[in-house]
Structure 1
Amino acid sequence: MTEREDGSRAGGGRRPGLLSPPAWLVHGLRPQDAPVPWAAVARASVALAAPLAVGIAAGHPEYGALASMGALSGVIGDTADAYRMRLLNIAVPQVFGAAGIMLGTLVYGHGWVAVGVLTAVALVSGMISSIGAVASVSGLLLLLNAVVGAGLPMPDPWWTAPALLSVGGLFVLVMTLLGWPFRRAAPEQAAVAAAYRSVAELLAVAGTRDTAAYDGRRHDVTRALDTSYDVVLGRRAHDHGRRAPMVRLLAQLNALIPLVESAAAAHRYGRASRRPEVAAAVRALADSVASGRRTAPELPLPEPEGPADRAVDRALRHASAVVHEGGPEAGQADDRLGRPAALRVRLRRTARSALTSGQSWRYGLRLALCIGLAQSFVSLVPVSRSYWVALTVTFVLKPDFGSVFSRAVLRALGTAAGLLVAAAVLAAVPRGWADVPVMMVLAALIPAFSAKGFVFQTAAVTPVILLLSDVLNHEGFHLVLPRLLDSLIGCTIVLVAGYLLWPESWHTRIGDRLADAVEETARYVRGAFGGVEHAERVRRRRKLYRDLSSVRAEFQRALTEPPPTGARAAAWWPLVVAVERIVDATTAARVRVDHGAAPPGAEEVADVERQVWALAAGLRSSVVLVEVRAELSGDEEGVLEPLRQEVRAARAIASPTGKP
């Protein structure tokens, strides 16, 4: 198998020296390049400090601390942009969190009964967490609050703690939705405008020799389109009939698809990068979408040369007509990816998926085992405020945040950093009104640091939880060192019972997913030249890009694993890129045919398709990739020649000898 010469991306940089930290650790400690969400920072600061201030003023600071814990759950769950999605992301997890604190309160002090109940809650939490984003946060809060309720004394009667947590979450929800009456469609409009801007940046580098820049911009386009379709179609799922604003946005989004397709052709054959007017025109369209402007600006585009340039020109003028004039699609916009099913249908499908999915059961059992061991350990060994051990297990084993191994290490590092801050606060700040401004500062750091990565989020959340815990149990500075020890115990349990005892095959989890994507690529090659209608080709290509995006995310998570998993992922990474380029080359060839190029022969298409199918079969057959030896022949001047070159490149990567 070949390796990349520059050692970048695939292997995480040059081979480190003996004293250099491992690549997976450096990756986890490197802050992500993400903007600070200032609105979320302000909301978090007020949402966590205000309930605490009210509780202190009323003479019941413990009530305020519980309400602030509910607000903390709402702040962590507020990860969407569209208001309807934010309503679900905050409200639904709060229901599960209230149920969790209630169960924990009922079994507080009941020894092994509490162990059994928390183990069962962990199984349910794990099974629902693997379904989706909202379910993941809901499962997290269900288990997290159950652990807190079983580990800390709560005020009587039993319903007090669930009610206070719900009040805190409701406060965050109200603050979040204050702008809804004035900005109802603003998030959807911003998402579509962002998709147009991402395409403008793609066209700005199309046709250059900087292939890495083009690939990066294309991934940005995929993410932007996925986000836009999810946001717009999610809004339409709640609308009765076809409301004009959402239909218009959907039409504008659909009009972007031909421009994305033509960008693939422009990158290989056209002159888009040498025609800056093209990218500038798309940026102007993005501004029109964002502002809702209907007046069409002039498009001073140069005369197109060849099929690729004609494809870009026609797609751009069509998009301009739809954005400014409504165009032919505005009144009859189809949903391209399919309109979401009714809520009751999706709930039924979700429940069936959770009960029948092997992945759900595996994760649920793994989490239940670790929680059961954590609770059993603290029941047998006297550990002060032992709930922190199970809390550590809950955070580290959350499935959609990346490698379990690296998360355990990063959790320990993040907790240690957070404890340094907590130690200073608990030692220097007396409990009372001084907690309110301190909480305002610490709470503001949570959304700001969460955008930078897991270790930074852990470092920000730890002092907040410790401060609220101290309001409840009054241990002060003596709370710090036990929490560090508890975190190390929890991380150890996860590494042994949640990682080493579950040797899931990396090939099974990722190799088969890549093989599935390669098979879909073979079908796409056949459909692109096999008489399939354009709308169906668009659906297939969008689905394929989504699948490849998921595969890429899986590989990126695998790259954070320690050897041998991380090393294998690094070796396979170039093949993921090669498959993406096969899809791009297929799209470019189809666009050229649509705009005047001679179509390929049926045998040429079938020959390429057979090679892609053989590549998929080789991926499934063994962890060691299997060489595909059959030759690819055809017209070297035809539209399929670049596609054949990409298939040959994939064969070379897949070959054990590194030769096609």
Structure 2
Amino acid sequence: MSRPAALALPPWLAHALRAQRAPVPWNAMMRGALAGGPLLLLAVLVGRPSVGVVAALGAMLAGINDRPGSRRVSIKRLGVPALAGALGLLVGTYAGQYAQTYAGQYVGAVALTLLLTSLGLLAGGMSAVGPVASGAGTQVLVAAAIGAGMPLPEPGWERALAYLAGAGWLLVLRLVLPTPAAFTAGDYRFDGERDAVAAVYDAIATLLDAVGSPHATARRAALTAALDHAQDALAGPRLRRYASSSAERQLHAQYAAALPLAEAATALAWAGDAVVGRASEGPRRLAAAVRDNTAPGPLPAPFLPHARLRSRGGTLIAPAVRALDDALLSAAESFDRGGDAQNELHTRRRTAGSLVRLALGVGGREYGLRVALSFGASAAVAQVLDHEHWYWLPATAVFLVKPDLGPLVSRVLCRAAGTVLGAVVFAGLAALLPRPEGLVALVVVSGALIPVATRHFAAQTAVVTVLVLALVMVGGEPQASWSRIGETLLACAIVLIVGHLPIPKGQRGGGVRARLTEAGTAAHAYLLHILNEAHEPDVPGDRAARWTLRREAYRTLAQARTTIALSGAELPALARHTEGTDEVAAVLERLVDTTTACAVDLDDAGRLTPRHTEQLTTLLDELARHQRQAGISLPEVPGVRLSTDLTA
């Protein structure tokens, strides 16, 4: 029985109570246990505990970014934020020392606050670029606050090296330690890569099973997520345009072979004609072959008994089924060949110019302004209070202001609850455990728990609170559980106030609008490519370019959907600024699905059917109407036109 509507929780509260579900990451937990704790113990044994504290902080922040994925992608995911954090620690240390030594008490505090505010504006804007940039922006600000306020005897350059050593040690563990997938497939080099590519074939099979049912849309979204994950997993060093070994070329080719299969499955889902169960057997066998690094064996041909059929070459067969059959045959040949050295990953890589445009666009400006105000105000208030651990206040504000961690009120509630829980637990343990070995053991246990705790912001906060308080005591400072609670609650209040400040018209909801504009641009580019092929039926189409555009359209749509969902879960005062954007995204998704169906039909007949052109026209009109209602202006692509000659 479903819950009555009157008893349904508001979105911001439901988000605070919801946690991600996934298998226990035993390997990541082992890396967390072997990262900060051993470094801290070594530093204590040689009489340099403060160096160990900084190294453990670097390992802790790197551990937060140690998410599931391929080993090679972790180089960028962990390394880039670590470099940014070391730079922030260096800048913060020397800025804090200058403010204390050469400037007066008040002048130095004002100068330091202005510097940190400016750094928040820059880092906040860059955080809008993507997940890695967001992690880098967070670490540079947290490390800058720690460097400016944490009393340590080491100079700035030594702190930065210790920080890099901690993060670098975790990265080494990520690259060196084996995973279960490596043993299963018999190849140590590939762990997340094989699982990611196999998951694509599994998602294709699941979509084929759902064709004609109400679950088809959700399964198509799951296929998009699997393709995005595989694309990221294969984007690491040496897995780029030209692979450097036969095993890499094979894995590369197996991913490329999934693209036409995904296209055909999406076209079948659009048509809505149910397929028999054996249609999904082929992709499932391919998934097992990728995962176990074996041959797939004979693949069954798909069969569609009730589809609308078209005569071609004396054979009656639906275009989408023909495409699925051809894609399965091509995939089987690709698996047998073991890949082609010249085969290219169908991905679009952002240029430096596009990254700068994202950072300086409406989304980057809005988030940068919010980060700067929260970070600067927290630093100013903390220095006025003249608290011994004043750097905790701005460092806490940095995490609270991150929109990818959930709606604002949800983040505040989780941060407050997690801090109170972690501080109380640490206070009890600190009274019982011997020092410093008991505190080092707490760091080891907390490091191991971080990969699991990242599934919920409150749990992550509780674990990090215990770890940080243990590091503070190892560094020679007194127990600080209760001041930690006070600083966190004050940071929550500051971020809540800043989050609800009036922003100039057109700037509020900038992150959503930026993502939606990016998705609209990609969708129109994909549609334009297909229409150009329809206008020139005698010219062979560039399938690689088509798959690249399709991947970009679905990927940007998925990112826009995630951003819209987070914005919609805010309090009504904030959520109202992005009303109507979900409808725009839904129409864009249907437009891209229809464009994919058109592409498959073009391959089969060389022209579009009236059903396709009517659907495209209807969707473009509907998109324009929803844009006006939501107050969003998506860029128009010159040359997008529909006419009867396309179906002649």
TM range (shorter): 0.7 to 0.9
2:195 is equivalent to residue 190 of structure 1: yes
> Is the Cα–Cα contact under 8 Å of residues 41 and 444 in structure 1 kept in the other structure?
yes
Deviation, 1:240, is 6.1
1:580 equivalent in structure 2: 589
Structure-2 change in CA distance of 1:60 and 1:264 (3 Å): closer
Structure-2 change in CA distance of 1:117 and 1:577 (3 Å): closer
Deviation, 1:395, is 0.9
1:613 to 620, 630, 633: 620
Provide the C-alpha distance between the structure 1 equivalents of 2:271 and 2:88, rounded to a whole number of angstroms. Answer: 58
Provide the C-alpha distance between the structure 1 equivalents of 2:607 and 2:130, rounded to a whole number of angstroms. Answer: 45
Deviation, 1:285, is 0.8
Provide the C-alpha distance between the structure 2 equivalents of 1:156 and 1:599, rounded to a whole number of angstroms. Answer: 70
Provide the C-alpha distance between the structure 2 equivalents of 1:125 and 1:383, rounded to a whole number of angstroms. Answer: 25
> Is the Cα–Cα contact under 8 Å of residues 583 and 626 in structure 2 kept in the other structure?
no
Structure-2 change in CA distance of 1:312 and 1:14 (3 Å): farther
Provide the C-alpha distance between the structure 2 equivalents of 1:542 and 1:267, rounded to a whole number of angstroms. Answer: 17
1:122 equivalent in structure 2: 120
Q: Which amino acid aligns with 2:292?
A: S
Deviation, 1:553, is 1.0
Provide the C-alpha distance between the structure 1 equivalents of 2:251 and 2:44, rounded to a whole number of angstroms. Answer: 48
2:430 is equivalent to residue 430 of structure 1: no
> Is the Cα–Cα contact under 8 Å of residues 366 and 510 in structure 2 kept in the other structure?
no
2:413 equivalent in structure 1: 409
Q: Which amino acid aligns with 1:562?
A: L
Deviation, 1:561, is 0.6
> Is the Cα–Cα contact under 8 Å of residues 509 and 578 in structure 2 kept in the other structure?
no
Could you report, residue by residue, the CA deviation over 1:182-206 in whole angstroms, capped at 9, with x for unpaired residues?
6324432332122112212222222
Structure-2 change in CA distance of 1:272 and 1:310 (3 Å): farther
1:336 to 311, 324, 346: 346
2:470 to 463, 467, 470: 467
- Can you give the 5+ residue segments of structure 2 that lack an aligned partner in the other structure? 101-107, 306-316, 535-540, 634-641
2:309 equivalent in structure 1: none
Could you report, residue by residue, the CA deviation over 1:378-419 in whole angstroms, capped at 9, with x for unpaired residues?
222343422221111111123443433432332222222222
Provide the C-alpha distance between the structure 1 equivalents of 2:168 and 2:526, rounded to a whole number of angstroms. Answer: 47
Provide the C-alpha distance between the structure 2 equivalents of 1:350 and 1:528, rounded to a whole number of angstroms. Answer: 24
Structure-2 change in CA distance of 1:430 and 1:403 (3 Å): same
2:297 equivalent in structure 1: 297
Q: Which amino acid aligns with 1:612?
A: L
Deviation, 1:354, is 7.2
Provide the C-alpha distance between the structure 1 equivalents of 2:385 and 2:513, rounded to a whole number of angstroms. Answer: 42
Deviation, 1:447, is 0.6
Partner SS for 2:72? helix
1:94 to 65, 77, 82: 82
Moved more, 525-534 or 423-432: 525-534
Provide the C-alpha distance between the structure 2 equivalents of 1:534 and 1:311, rounded to a whole number of angstroms. Answer: 16
Partner SS for 1:159? helix
> Is the Cα–Cα contact under 8 Å of residues 98 and 165 in structure 1 kept in the other structure?
yes
Deviation, 1:267, is 3.2
Provide the C-alpha distance between the structure 2 equivalents of 1:61 and 1:43, rounded to a whole number of angstroms. Answer: 21
Could you report, residue by residue, the CA deviation over 1:607-656 in whole angstroms, capped at 9, with x for unpaired residues?
54443333333233233899xxxxxx999xxx99xxxxxxxxxxxxxxxx
Could you report, residue by residue, the CA deviation over 1:260-314 in whole angstroms, capped at 9, with x for unpaired residues?
1221343355766532x232221111121223324x5122446554314333333
Alignment of 1:30-45 (within 5 A): 30-45=18-33
Provide the C-alpha distance between the structure 2 equivalents of 1:118 and 1:564, rounded to a whole number of angstroms. Answer: 29
> TM-score, normalised on structure 2?
0.82
> Is the Cα–Cα contact under 8 Å of residues 526 and 609 in structure 1 kept in the other structure?
no
> Is the Cα–Cα contact under 8 Å of residues 98 and 142 in structure 1 kept in the other structure?
yes
> Is the Cα–Cα contact under 8 Å of residues 131 and 350 in structure 1 kept in the other structure?
no
Could you report, residue by residue, the CA deviation over 1:159-203 in whole angstroms, capped at 9, with x for unpaired residues?
332232222222212212214896324432332122112212222
Q: Which amino acid aligns with 1:455?
A: A
1:137 equivalent in structure 2: 135
2:64 to 70, 76, 101: 76
Provide the C-alpha distance between the structure 1 equivalents of 2:515 and 2:614, rounded to a whole number of angstroms. Answer: 24
Q: Which amino acid aligns with 1:316?
A: L
1:557 to 566, 575, 579: 566
Q: Which amino acid aligns with 1:280?
A: E
Deviation, 1:350, is 7.1
2:456 equivalent in structure 1: 453
1:24 equivalent in structure 2: 12
Partner SS for 2:54? helix
Provide the C-alpha distance between the structure 1 equivalents of 2:482 and 2:400, rounded to a whole number of angstroms. Answer: 20
Structure-2 change in CA distance of 1:624 and 1:128 (3 Å): closer
> Is the Cα–Cα contact under 8 Å of residues 66 and 451 in structure 2 kept in the other structure?
no
Moved more, 103-112 or 499-508: 499-508
Provide the C-alpha distance between the structure 1 equivalents of 2:226 and 2:322, rounded to a whole number of angstroms. Answer: 25
2:52 is equivalent to residue 64 of structure 1: yes
Deviation, 1:481, is 1.7
Provide the C-alpha distance between the structure 1 equivalents of 2:261 and 2:35, rounded to a whole number of angstroms. Answer: 43
- Tell me the C-alpha RMSD between the 2 structures: 3.5
2:233 is equivalent to residue 228 of structure 1: no
Provide the C-alpha distance between the structure 2 equivalents of 1:44 and 1:529, rounded to a whole number of angstroms. Answer: 51
> Is the Cα–Cα contact under 8 Å of residues 285 and 299 in structure 2 kept in the other structure?
no
Provide the C-alpha distance between the structure 1 equivalents of 2:71 and 2:533, rounded to a whole number of angstroms. Answer: 41
Q: Which amino acid aligns with 1:587?
A: T
Provide the C-alpha distance between the structure 2 equivalents of 1:73 and 1:62, rounded to a whole number of angstroms. Answer: 17
1:600 equivalent in structure 2: 609
> Is the Cα–Cα contact under 8 Å of residues 117 and 375 in structure 2 kept in the other structure?
yes
Partner SS for 1:497? helix
Q: Which amino acid aligns with 1:220?
A: A
1:500 equivalent in structure 2: 501
> TM-score, normalised on structure 1?
0.81
Partner SS for 2:572? coil
> Is the Cα–Cα contact under 8 Å of residues 526 and 606 in structure 1 kept in the other structure?
no
Moved more, 175-184 or 224-233: 175-184
Provide the C-alpha distance between the structure 2 equivalents of 1:574 and 1:127, rounded to a whole number of angstroms. Answer: 27
Could you report, residue by residue, the CA deviation over 1:308-359 in whole angstroms, capped at 9, with x for unpaired residues?
4333333222212212234xx7354243334x48xxxx5x547744774454
Alignment of 1:479-558 (within 5 A): 479-502=480-503, 509-510=511-512, 514=516, 517=519, 521=523, 524=526, 527-528=529-530, 531-532=533-534, 533=541, 535=543, 536-558=545-567
2:639 equivalent in structure 1: none
Structure-2 change in CA distance of 1:571 and 1:96 (3 Å): closer
> Is the Cα–Cα contact under 8 Å of residues 363 and 509 in structure 2 kept in the other structure?
no
Number of residue pairs the alignment of both structures matches: 601
Q: Which amino acid aligns with 1:337?
A: T
Moved more, 586-595 or 310-319: 586-595
> Is the Cα–Cα contact under 8 Å of residues 72 and 175 in structure 2 kept in the other structure?
no
> Is the Cα–Cα contact under 8 Å of residues 591 and 616 in structure 2 kept in the other structure?
no
Structure-2 change in CA distance of 1:192 and 1:302 (3 Å): closer
> Is the Cα–Cα contact under 8 Å of residues 370 and 498 in structure 2 kept in the other structure?
yes
1:281 equivalent in structure 2: 282
Provide the C-alpha distance between the structure 2 equivalents of 1:522 and 1:93, rounded to a whole number of angstroms. Answer: 34
Structure-2 change in CA distance of 1:42 and 1:528 (3 Å): same
> Is the Cα–Cα contact under 8 Å of residues 453 and 463 in structure 2 kept in the other structure?
yes
Partner SS for 1:531? helix
Partner SS for 1:83? coil
> Is the Cα–Cα contact under 8 Å of residues 304 and 313 in structure 1 kept in the other structure?
no
> Is the Cα–Cα contact under 8 Å of residues 293 and 324 in structure 1 kept in the other structure?
no
1:315 to 315, 324, 327: 327
Provide the C-alpha distance between the structure 2 equivalents of 1:126 and 1:82, rounded to a whole number of angstroms. Answer: 27
Could you report, residue by residue, the CA deviation over 1:513-536 in whole angstroms, capped at 9, with x for unpaired residues?
547645765665565455352514
Could you report, residue by residue, the CA deviation over 1:493-530 in whole angstroms, capped at 9, with x for unpaired residues?
11112442436666665367547645765665565455
Moved more, 315-324 or 152-161: 152-161
Structure-2 change in CA distance of 1:259 and 1:463 (3 Å): same
1:441 to 441, 445, 454: 445
Partner SS for 2:21? coil
- Can you give the 5+ residue segments of structure 1 that lack an aligned partner in the other structure? 1-5, 627-632, 641-660
Alignment of 1:183-262 (within 5 A): 183-207=188-212, 209=213, 211=214, 213-236=215-238, 243-262=245-264
